[in-house]
Amino acid sequence: MAEKELLSQIRNLSVEYKTRLGQVSAVDSVSFDIYKGEILGLVGESGCGKSTMGKALMRMIQPPGKITGGQIIFQGEDIMTYDDNQMRDFRGRKVSMIFQDPMTSLNPTQRVDEHIIEAIQVHEPQVKIEEALKLAEKMIRKLGMQKRRMNSYPHQLSGGMRQRVMVGLGLVLNADLIVADEATTSLDVIVEAQLADQLKDIREEFGVSLLVITHNIALVAEISDRIVVMYAGHVMEIANVEPIFDNPLHPYTRGLLKSIPNIKLNDTEELYKMPGEPPNLTHPPSGCRFHPRCPRVMPICKVHGPDLTEVSPGRFVKCWLYIDHPEKESETIKVEA
């Protein structure tokens, strides 16, 4: 099997927000890779840092937030060294983003064709409007929309169509990576399934990489090649999709998977709810951030935070259950729910 080619390497990336209650480490020394042509799922509960991570990849963190450390290496270059002009060229041409609600990203006074033409000419000013219009029409058709939709305004489109326009804005500039931040959350299940299929088709046709940020684990199970699990600003587990679902290693990952609704439940069974709540990141717990909720917590978990460790080729986990340490005790302590 051919070795996968790296597209981006995130190394020890940290993002902090200043609040009245103190400093919040929304993303804390996060590291993972994105490969060319892959669909990478980024999952976790609300508030775990997923969306902050996605915005950080495009250096779109706004005050009071700030990237406080780390590297974002894209195609061999650290974009943290880029100036404003380089970043304007990078966004859209190299990396494009699809947000949860496209109505907040699309200009309500512009038609679909005007959105796409503007995106082309901002990055390629030498392209004439007639040529840009042809490219826009070609992209609309590839996305399964009728030509007449070129003249529609965002409010005249369905939620699924608006998301397709957002995808088109990224693809028309031949972006290498599309970051989809909860892109299917506002859609009904049928349209969500259609968009999920389309994302897979886009990867096959254009060879683009996708980072799918979502709390919907069933969605990433369907379309992703690998999964990154985040909790309280930390990466807890990274693996190919099959091992994650067949044999989750981190207790947090296990809890997430147990929380997926099961249509086979009978009338006497209840949906599983993971005990406890994510921590307040102005005062995160010492040691492993998951230890107050963990059913397999050990004394060392409360004192020392484990490193993200490769336990088998391509599989990483941040948990003392799989790491040797002289202070580690073998007997676990059950946490009361």
The tens place of each residue's pLDDT in the chain, 337 residues long, gives 457 899 999 999 999 999 998 899 999 999 999 999 999 999 999 889 999 999 999 999 999 999 999 999 999 999 999 999 999 889 988 998 887 777 777 889 999 889 888 888 888 888 888 888 888 888 888 878 888 888 899 899 887 788 888 888 878 888 899 998 887 766 677 777 877 888 888 888 888 999 999 888 888 888 999 999 999 999 999 999 999 999 999 999 999 998 877 666 566 667 778 888 999 999 999 999 999 999 999 999 999 999 999 999 999 999 999 988 776 654 444 433 3
Question: CB count, 10 Å around CB of 229?
Answer: 28
Instruction: Using alpha carbons, select from 228, 231, 246, 252 the residue that is nearest to residue 314.
Output: 228
Look up residue 252 and give its two tokens.
Answer: 């947090």
Domains for the chain: give ranges and CATH numbers: 6-94+175-278 (3.40.50.300), 108-174 (no CATH)
Query: pTM, whole model, 2 decimals?
Result: 0.88
pLDDT score at 335: 39
pLDDT score at 67: 97
**In terms of DSSP bridges, do strands 65-74 and 6-19 run parallel, antiparallel, or are they unpaired?**
antiparallel
pLDDT score at 270: 73
pLDDT score at 316: 97
Strand intervals (E) in the chain: 6-19, 22-35, 39-43, 65-74, 77-78, 95-98, 177-181, 209-214, 226-231, 234-240, 309-312, 315-317
Instruction: Using alpha carbons, select from 230, 285, 221 the residue that is nearest to residue 31.
Output: 230
Q: Which residue has the tokens 């796409």?
A: 116
Say how far apart CA 316 and CA 235 lie, in whole Å.
9
Instruction: Using alpha carbons, select from 154, 170, 58 the residue that is nearest to residue 116.
Output: 170
Alpha carbon 68 to its chain centroid, in Å, reads: 20
